[in-house]
Amino acid sequence: MSERSPNSEDLDLTDPAGYPHWTVITIRCRDEDQLGHVNNSVYSEWFEVARVTLTREVSAAGPDWLVTALARMTINFLGETTWPGEVRVGGRLLGVGNRSFRSAYAVFRDERCLATADCVSVWFDQRSRSSATPPPQVREAMEAELRRTASGARPAR
- State the residues that interact with a copy of itself by CB under 8 A: 24-26, 28-30, 32-36, 39-42, 44-46, 48-49, 52-53, 67, 69-77, 80, 83-84, 86, 126, 129
Cβ 31 to a copy of itself shortest distance, Å: 9
Closer by beta carbon to a copy of itself, 29 or else 111 = 29
Cβ 80 to a copy of itself shortest distance, Å: 7
CA triple 117-71-148, angle to 5 deg: 55
Cβ 77 to a copy of itself shortest distance, Å: 6
Closer by beta carbon to a copy of itself, 68 or else 138 = 68
Cβ 125 to a copy of itself shortest distance, Å: 12
